[in-house]
Structure 1
């Protein structure tokens, strides 16, 4: 079978878990044709794996912008007028209201027409979407245009902030199945759907490859954050907590790997502190940084189930994270790390100092790796997803 995978941007440096999932599905014999709404820039192609994926991924907007692509979209609508009418009605019905939103729905319909033409060309048998926002709407409409079964992976937290805007109840109702990345995500989908739909809500984690991660030499002084430098990650709280921790442990150093809209402000806030900003790094470089760090810190305000936490635990690195969404399904408080309330700098400081002062960090790291190996490997999770694809008629 050929499964068309659609995301808003692929491959992205921040979404390497999708790339791992695609590779694992291909290893299981499923043909995965990657599609993206927008073509990613070179800043996201941080290694040969990303560059190779970018080269084989169909990009909707560049195709639609070409005269040939536009004519192809029009021809797709004209060839199947009844399906086009149903898709247009669905786009209208799932609009959150207002002229601006309706204009976006028209754009999504045009993108869906372009995608539908491509899916017929490659002989796709199923459409799967990751991150069920605008790209999810394109996938939903493309399924109506082609008659192909549709499914999606539900992440959160942004999906849950605007369920009406992204028509999540409609997407759940029309999906052949929904892959929820955590029990928390599944519970939110249950809130949005009738009880009769609950059996098609499946927990499929975004997994990692534990073999990529190994502990290396550690000094007992290095703190590490990996992620997007954006408001949702709570980094001002981390910098406040780190500054307080330095009063007790002036030998500590903090490294922040990643990029984002808040980088300049965070660099200004951290001036004079032993903090290093590296920018975005390749998967290999991140794995190396995880191997030599002593504590991973993720002070987020909003998350789904962070893959970077899986990577940290796989590297036998204890973690301090906020007790939000699905995080507690991964980090076991007191066993593989500590969980603290979001936005609580004193609690974060206390947790950092506690774990940096513990002599049993290696055993905590081993417990974290065991958790990942048991429940969050890319191969195991891809096998669950493959079974769902193959079970769809």
Structure 2
């Protein structure tokens, strides 16, 4: 059986903060899948920080941009309206899964119109299967496009925020209608099982986000350099990190903290970091190559988040042999083994964070040992080439009507 032709849909693609999706798409193409990338919105220039993002941006189908053409929008809907039973069924689905209130109904009707544009393009491209990442609004579009076109869909669910409002996003209905769901961790799968009907649990599969370990050079473990990579938003706990650095700096005059990323809290965080002077530097969004280069000069990677899925930035640090300090939440313990590849601390605990960073800064040998364990972990369980092959096996098995094998056999 030939490999299914895929469409990949997200709300905004490509983004500097979602490089894991770009890697997954690239790995699926290497396997032999044809992949049409689709984005609801057009990505802002601030995310096009490297050649990978610019190339993917150029080849991605932008749905809202296409829908602004009245002839294209009306034409797509008219073509599907020729099958009134299917068209009205999809419209009823949009209405029935909308959040309560006029605003929620209006949004879902807009998603319905977008879905027609996407479904029309997929029909023209002879797509066999539609896959969505994130499971929020763009997954609503995917579900409706599937209903309109008859093209089956699946989605990858990440968390944590999707589980804050599961009824709003109707992850129960999306799971019921999906051919399968890829869960990024055992924790994520368990959370989805709280809301999905038990009859659908068998189609919830663990597919890790992954990285290419070959991209990363092993860090030297000879300095006092800390690195944070992530969105500068409240959920990431950066103020806790800045407080920890303020406490550590007097004891470690060579200490430096670099923050890669951007977000709504950047200005406030920069203001908060002013008393630390040159100890802290904000670098904004950077290309994948620049992130890899920064990791090669990093001694300890710190991620003090309050909520996470399984952070890809931790995988990147571990691939570079950098020990990590992270919070003991959600799926992180499935990636980071406490006192083996890093140190896990309670979220929001400045004293615990200071102690963990101090422990690693004081011993280059310990950093080396933990870094080696982290490299082995990522190579075995979070390698994008292995995970993409597992995902490809799911696409192919479900397309042929076969029962997919368990995770350890998904290769």
Which structure 1 residue ranges, 4+ long, deviate > 6 Å from structure 2? none
Mapped partners of 2:144, 2:83: distance in 1: 14
- Please list, as runs of the form range in 1=range in 2, the aligned pairs for 1:1-393 lying within 5 A after superposition: 1-273=4-276, 274-358=279-363, 359-393=365-399
1:135-187 CA deviation, whole Å, 9 max, x = no partner?
Answer: 00000000000111110001001110110111000011111100000011110
For 1:271 and 1:91, how far apart are their aligned partners in 2?
Answer: 49
3-state SS, counterpart of residue 296 of structure 2: helix
- Partner Cα separation in structure 2 for residue 4 and residue 45 of structure 1: 21
- Report the CA distance between 1:73 and its aligned residue: 2.8
Q: Which deviates the most, 250-259 or 379-388? A: 250-259
Are the aligned partners of 1:64 and 1:73 in contact in 2 as well (CA < 8 Å)?
no
Report what 2:409 is aligned to: none
Give yes or no for contact 2:320–2:371 (8 Å, CA) kept in 1: yes
Instruction: Decide whether the 8 Å contact of 2:11 with 2:41 is kept in 1.
Output: yes
Quote the Cα distance in structure 2 between the aligned partners of 1:149 and 1:70: 22
SS of the counterpart of 1:360? helix
Structure 1 equivalent of residue 405 of structure 2: none
What is the CA–CA distance in structure 2 between the aligned matches of 1:272 and 1:343, rounded to whole Å? 21
Q: How much does 1:107 deviate? A: 0.7
Contact in 2 for aligned 1:76/1:116 (Cα 8 Å): no
CA distance in 1, matches of 2:176, 2:391: 19
Q: State the Cα deviation string for residues 224-254 of structure 1 (Å, max 9, x = none).
A: 0001111110101111111111233232110
Per-residue CA shift, 1:95-147, capped at 9, x if unaligned?
Answer: 12111111101111011011011111100111110000000000000000011
Conservation of the 8 A alpha-carbon contact between 2:221 and 2:367: no
CA contact (8 A) 2:306 2:329 kept: yes
SS in structure 2 at match of 1:232:
helix
Partners of 1:82 and 1:111 lie apart in 2 by 19
Query: What are the Cα deviations for residues 171-220 of structure 1, in whole angstroms up to 9, with x where unaligned?
Result: 11111100000011110111112322111000000110000011244432
Alignment coverage as a number of residue pairs: 393
The structural deviation recorded for 1:362 is 0.7
What residue ranges of structure 2 are gaps of 5+ in the alignment?
A: 400-411
- Structure-2 separation of matches of 1:76 and 1:189: 35
Mark the runs of 5 or more structure 1 residues left unpaired by the alignment: none
Q: TM-score, normalised by structure 1?
A: 0.98
Which digits, 9 at most, give the CA deviation of each residue in 1:25-52, with x for residues without a partner? 1111111110000010221111111111
Secondary structure (helix, strand or coil) at the match of 1:128 reads strand
CA distance in 1, matches of 2:272, 2:48: 29
* Partner SS for 1:272: helix
TM-score (normalised: structure 2)? 0.94
RMSD, aligned CA? 1.0
Once the two structures are overlaid, the 10-residue window that deviates more, 244-253 or 361-370, is 244-253
Contact 1:318 1:337 in 2 (8 A): yes
In structure 2, C-alpha distance between the alignment counterparts of 1:182 and 1:216, rounded to whole Å: 27
